[in-house]
């Protein structure tokens, strides 16, 4: 028979353990937080992660460092975050490509996009812009669509690599226009954009932050934006939807995630700080300069991010599989 003393000791140990967990959560964060970005430094997701993390660090009173872990379409970095201890000290800041599109691109992933993570909140959305070389004989989207259909055999579109944002934007555009044009893959946005400016291929669809300078410099033409509404930074450029391709919408969302099992109290605290950060006028102004669409409070809840992830999986996995796209 188990003695009363042994039962009392076991009960006390459980209570002390629970009290210790509660205290740790109440004191969170008590040390440096690492945010894993599964891409090389300098890209749109990395830039957004650093802007948000710096302000969140101020509000939390603890340093947040960004750890760039690139490779294999973002899968290496995302897997690292998924395997981390669920204590709130290792987070992931990633976009729809790694958690939705990669499901279709890879036969097996070292993580489950839904089961291995706790959504924290949406950090911002990068709109896309359809841009064309200056020499293309068109002046708006309708003329562009007609030109591509009439010259399908010789038209070429470029993108920054399989699974890249520019690949997804072009894939959806070509699919909805019902054209099959030659695809020119590059290893990164910079070389692709350089060749578009040089007129080496005809068009691409890339994140606004990547192409704004070349548009404003008159080096390429902007024919349409991928959002439901026009962009403040390009007010004279119509949406592709309104310009003649109803239903076209491609946006690259970025969000914070924690390993599965991270306590709700920590998720809630991080979300609250993220929400405060996004509402900060200085942050909003900085993100607007990068053409990032800042989510409202209701759009950046953990539940809203979970719904956004599900919608992206439902949209992109069938589309990518139907196109027969394989990773490089």
Reported for 15-21, long-range contacts at CB under 8 A and 24+ positions apart, including other chains, are 21/263
Residue 171 scores a pLDDT above 70: yes
For the chain, percent of residues with pLDDT exceeding 90: 81
Examine the domain organization and report whether 39 and 114 are in the same domain. yes
Q: Is 328 contained in some domain?
A: no
- 157 within some domain: yes
Residues 45/76, Cβ–Cβ less than 8 Å: no
What is the sign, positive or negative, of the torsion defined by CA atoms of 63, 68, 69, 73? Answer: positive
Quote the tokens at residue 314. 């439902």
Residue 108 pLDDT greater than 70, yes or no: yes
Say which residue, 121 or 22, is predicted with more confidence: 121
Residue 297 sits in which domain range?
29-125+252-322
pLDDT in tens, 128-155: 999 999 999 999 999 999 999 999 999 9
Structure-token pair, residue 304: 């809203």
Whether residues 234 and 133 fall in one domain: yes
Token code pair at residue 267: 């998720």
Residues 184/159, Cβ–Cβ less than 8 Å: yes
Is the residue at 1 inside a domain?
A: no
CA separation for the pair 76, 82 (Å, rounded) = 10
Confidence (pLDDT) at 15: 60
Question: What's the rounded Cα separation, in Å, for the pair 302 and 120?
Answer: 5
Q: Which of 194, 219, 243 is the last residue of a domain?
A: 243
pLDDT digits (tens, 9 = 90+) for 222-237: 999 999 999 999 999 9
Same domain, 149 and 113: no
pLDDT one-digit tens code per residue, 247-264: 999 999 999 999 999 999
Q: How many domains does the chain contain in total?
A: 2
User: pLDDT for 210-225, tens place per residue?
Assistant: 999 999 999 999 999 9
238 shares a domain with 188: yes
Q: Report the predicted TM-score, pTM, of the whole model to 2 decimal places.
A: 0.87
**Contact between residue 127 and residue 291 where contact means Cβ atoms under 8 Å apart:** yes
Chain centroid to CA 234: how far? 21
Q: Which of 165, 125, 128 is nearest to 294 (CA)?
A: 125
Give 105 or 198, the one with higher predicted confidence. Answer: 198
- The pLDDT of residue 10 is above 90: no
Last residue of a domain, one of 243, 262, 290: 243
**Residue 151 maps to a domain:** yes
Are 121 and 258 within one domain?
A: yes
SS3 of 118, please? strand
- CATH classification of the domain holding 208: 3.40.190.10
Its sign, for the CA torsion 198, 200, 205, 206, is negative
Residues 117 and 260 grouped into a single domain: yes
Residue 9 counted as domain residue: no
Same domain assignment for residues 211 and 148: yes
Class of residue 265 by CB neighbours under 10 A (exposed 0-12, middle 13-18, buried 19+): middle
Rounded to the nearest integer, the mean pLDDT of the chain is: 92
Residue 23 located in a structural domain:
no
Tokens of 29: 């964060």
Q: Is the pLDDT of residue 23 over 70?
A: no
Strand 182-185 and strand 156-159: the pairing is parallel
C-alpha gyration radius of the chain: 22
Mean pLDDT in residue range 36-59: 94
Flag whether pLDDT at 57 surpasses 60: yes
> Which of the two residues, 84 and 13, has the higher pLDDT score?
84
Q: What pLDDT is attached to residue 72?
A: 87
Domain end marker among 243, 277, 310: 243
User: Would you list the DSSP string of 295-313?
Assistant: PPTGGGSHHHHHHHHHHHH
Rounded to a whole number of angstroms, the distance between the first and last alpha carbons of the chain is: 64
Surface-to-core class of residue 189, CB atoms within 10 Å of its CB (0-12 exposed, 13-18 middle, 19+ buried) = buried
In the predicted structure, residue 24 carries a pLDDT above the cut 70: no
Q: Is the pLDDT of residue 282 over 70?
A: yes
Question: What phi, psi does 249 have (nearest 5°)?
Answer: -155, 120
Long-range Cβ contact pairs of 184-187 (< 8 A, separation 24 or more)? 184/156, 184/157, 184/158, 184/159, 185/158, 185/159, 185/160, 185/161, 185/328, 186/158, 186/159, 186/160, 186/161, 187/160, 187/161
């Amino acid at each position: 028979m188990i003695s009363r003393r042994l039962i009392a000791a076991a009960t006390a140990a459980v209570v002390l353990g629970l009290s210790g967990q509660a205290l740790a959560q109440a004191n969170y964060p008590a040390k440096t937080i690492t945010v894993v970005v599964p891409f090389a430094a300098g890209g749109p997701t990395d830039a957004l992660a650093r802007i948000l993390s710096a302000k969140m660090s101020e509000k939390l009173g603890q340093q947040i460092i960004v750890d760039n872990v690139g490779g294999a379409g973002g899968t290496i970095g995302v897997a690292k975050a998924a395997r981390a201890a669920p204590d709130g000290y290792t987070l992931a800041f990633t976009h729809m490509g790694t958690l939705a599109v990669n499901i279709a691109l890879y036969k097996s992933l070292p993580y489950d996009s839904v089961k291995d993570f706790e959504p924290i909140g949406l950090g911002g959305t990068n709109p896309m812009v359809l841009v064309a070389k200056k020499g293309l004989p068109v002046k708006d989207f309708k003329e562009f669509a007609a030109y591509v259909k009439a010259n399908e055999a010789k038209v070429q579109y470029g993108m920054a690599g399989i699974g890249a944002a520019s690949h997804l934007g072009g894939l959806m555009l070509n699919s909805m226009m019902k054209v099959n044009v030659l695809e020119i893959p590059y290893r990164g946005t910079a070389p692709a954009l350089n060749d578009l400016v040089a007129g080496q291929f005809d068009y691409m669809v890339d994140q606004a932050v990547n192409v704004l300078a070349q548009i404003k410099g008159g080096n390429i033409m902007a024919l349409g934006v991928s959002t439901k509404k026009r962009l403040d930074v390009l007010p004279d450029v119509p949406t592709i939807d309104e310009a003649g391709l109803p239903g076209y919408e491609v946006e690259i969302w970025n969000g914070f995630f924690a390993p599965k099992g991270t306590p709700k109290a920590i998720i809630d605290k991080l979300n609250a700080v993220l929400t405060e950060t996004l509402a900060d006028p200085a942050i909003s102004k900085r993100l607007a300069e990068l053409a990032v669409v800042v989510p409202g409070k209701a759009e950046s809840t953990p539940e809203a991010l979970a719904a956004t992830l599900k919608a992206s999986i439902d949209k992109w996995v069938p589309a990518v599989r139907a196109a027969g796209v394989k990773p490089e």
